[in-house]
Structure 1
Amino acid sequence: MGLVAGGVADVVGGFGAWRMWWMLAKNDVIRRYRRSRVGQLWLTLSMAVMIFGMGGIYASLFGTSMADYLPHLGTGLVLWGLMSQTINESCSSFTDNDSIIRQVALPRFTYLLRTIARNLFIFAHNLIILPVLFLVTGTVIDWHILLFVPGLLLVLANLAWIGYLLAILSARFRDIPQIVASIVQVAFFVSPVVFKPSQLRGDHPVLILNPFASMLDVMREPLVGHLPSATSYLILLGLLVVGWLVALAFSGKYSHRVVYWL
């Protein structure tokens, strides 16, 4: 319990330093497009091109209409961008902030929150595409959209403990980011981003054993006017409890050593 308490203190301290990680995350996005004429609009434009480009190709391959397929693909790509980038960039949350960590005594979780906030800013830019996409395809928005916010919070809570573990491990073992990037890349093809879950049977291992499928389900289904599966909520809640217990114990034991590994 002592280890878990140490991890809890670090997480609480990280949220307490919200001014620091909020400012750093905002500056990360601004700095990336500082000398660009279009600026941060490139985030939205590049995602829109990908959605409509892939939509035309895969709708033809799957033999379905663009109006039916584009909302599925568009929401899937936008949400996948949030999940995959957060996980990949979490690996370098400590190594990218090594100069700050060596000089300023901040809770380690502060740097992970910087990563999550930065990707939420990017996600907010890409989210603008969806209302336009729904209008073009005639997708009906109903009360199910209210479930998007709790679904998003549930996913972010899971991404936080995953990123916390990966950040610590990556500080110690520098091969971890490359391994994680490869796993995430493979996960894209076995997750229902391009294909629809309805193309598989409900108890297919790709849908049950793949946590990314559950994450997509609780966020995407409300956006397209459907009710997420209760199984997806149960899977994510189970991962949330077990994952945070492991992450907090791991952090309580090893997070103070991060500065020596950088």
Structure 2
Amino acid sequence: MTAPPAIAADPRSWRRAFADLLAGLRARELWALLAWQDIKQRYRRSSLGPLWITVGMAVTALALGVVNSALFGSSISTLLPSITTGLILWNFMNGCIVEGSETFIVNEGMIKQLPAPVSVYALRTVWRQALYLAHNLVVYVLVLAIFFGKLSQPYRLVDKDGALLHPGLGWGMLLAVPALMLVLLNGAWVVLLFGVVSTRFRDIPPVIQSFITMLFYATPIMWSMDQVRVMNQSSHEGFGSVAVNLLQLNPVYHFVEIVRAPLVGQQQSWTHWLVAGVVTVVGWSLAMLVLRNYRARVAYWV
């Protein structure tokens, strides 16, 4: 009697999706090495090598700090650390969004030749951005060393009456550690979700690059919410309150604040943590749903 033909297991299953993610995490030596090779390749034959990441961040932060301090009449000793920290975090998030949308497209050759979990390529992108972040944190340490005296005591980011009084640096700095871990965790689902969707629909990466600049200006990096609130208090038309409410709908703003506020001694609202937590749960749910349904098709789409 002939045995019935085996029925192929459905590739679209939660078990396979989680197995892919776990297998990718176990292959940390692979994606960590690939990410470091990406950085070495980018700065090959350069005298400073990856230190150019730090130099570029330092020059950009200094220029924006000086210009914005002159424009808004704020003290550079408090504004520059805030801008520097915001830029460091933005660079990581921007890299996860923009480069994450092309993570499978640029790895076409490896995907077709190397039998590795799909999540390996996403983790490669996230770890590369994390290495950039680590290089840029050197700039934060230098800025903190220079302006520690000012930041260690209560201060106002905006030198105007009615501006919010921030508590200054203290033990609250330790909150930056879990906050940074949460940002890294969100970077992973962003790369997975955007990467798979962009592999299927190749118009997504150009659309993301078109809107990323608008997102940058809508996030308090070069400016602060303190400035908007002060403008709201001096305005008689109520436009400032509307602007504050609209800007708070930007999820990137909340992720920036949960890390930046402890690092520069600013007052922090637990609303930021609540929004970041909700976005984390929703984002990973969507990423795992996409990974479940389309993980097996990525190799055919690239």
**TM-score normalised by the chain length of structure 2:** 0.83
Task: Please state how far the C-alpha of 1:207 moved relative to its aligned partner.
Answer: 4.0
Which of 172, 177, 185 is matched with 2:205 structurally?
A: 177
Q: Is 1:64 paired with 2:91? A: no
Matched residues in 2 for 1:23 and 1:189: separation? 34
Partner Cα distance (1:68, 1:243) in 2: 34
CA contact (8 A) 1:70 1:137 kept: no
Alignment match of 1:16 (pick from 8, 18, 26): 26
Distance 2:283 2:88 in 1: 25
Give TM-score scaled by structure 1 length. 0.95
Contact 1:77 1:193 in 2 (8 A): yes
User: Mean Cα displacement is larger for which, 114-123 or 135-144?
Assistant: 135-144
Paired residues for 1:48-59 under 5 Å: 48-59=58-69
Q: Tell me whether 165-174 or 2-11 shows the greater mean CA deviation.
A: 2-11
Q: CA deviation at 1:226?
A: 3.2
* 2:3 alignment partner in structure 1: none
Task: Supply the AA of the counterpart residue of 1:260.
Answer: Y
Question: Is 2:175 the partner of 1:147?
Answer: yes
Give the conservation status (yes or no) of the 8 Å contact 1:3–1:250: no
Aligned-pair distance for 1:244? 1.2
Does residue 48 of structure 2 align to residue 38 of structure 1? yes
| Alignment pair present for 1:27 and 2:37 | yes
One of 83, 90, 96 as aligned partner of 1:80 = 90
Q: Is the 8 A contact 2:96 2:125 kept in 1?
A: yes
Query: Is this contact kept in 2: 1:76–1:216, CA < 8 A?
Result: yes
Query: Aligned match of 2:143 in 133, 140, 148?
Result: 133
Checking the alignment, whether the CA contact within 8 Å between 1:4 and 1:245 is kept in structure 2 is no
CA separation in 2, counterparts of 1:12 and 1:227? 38
Q: Which runs of 5+ in 2 are unaligned?
A: 1-11, 153-168, 230-240
The residue aligned with 1:247 is: 287
Contact 2:96 2:190 in 1 (8 A): no
Cα distance between partner residues in 2 of 1:45 and 1:88: 22
Structure 1 portions without partners, runs of 5+: none
Moved more, 120-129 or 130-139: 130-139
- Report if aligned partners of 2:118, 2:295 keep a CA contact under 8 Å in 1: yes
Higher relative contact order at CA 8 Å, sep ≥6: structure 1 or structure 2?
1
Q: Distance in 2 between matches of 1:168 and 1:248?
A: 11
Residues 23 and 194 of structure 1: CA distance in aligned 2, closer, same or farther (over 3 Å) = same
Are residues 5 and 207 of structure 1, via their aligned partners in 2, closer, same or farther at CA, if it must alter by over 3 Å?
farther
Alpha-carbon distance, 1:75 to partner: 0.7
* Aligned partners of 1:86 and 1:115 also within 8 Å: yes
- Provide, for residues 16-46 of structure 1, a one-character-per-residue CA deviation record: whole Å limited to 9, x for no partner: 1111000000111111112011211111111
- How large is the Cα RMSD of the aligned pairs? 1.6
Q: 1:112 aligns with which of 105, 116, 122?
A: 122
CA contact (8 A) 1:55 1:73 kept: yes
Distance in 2 (CA, whole Å) between partners of 1:227 and 1:3 is 44
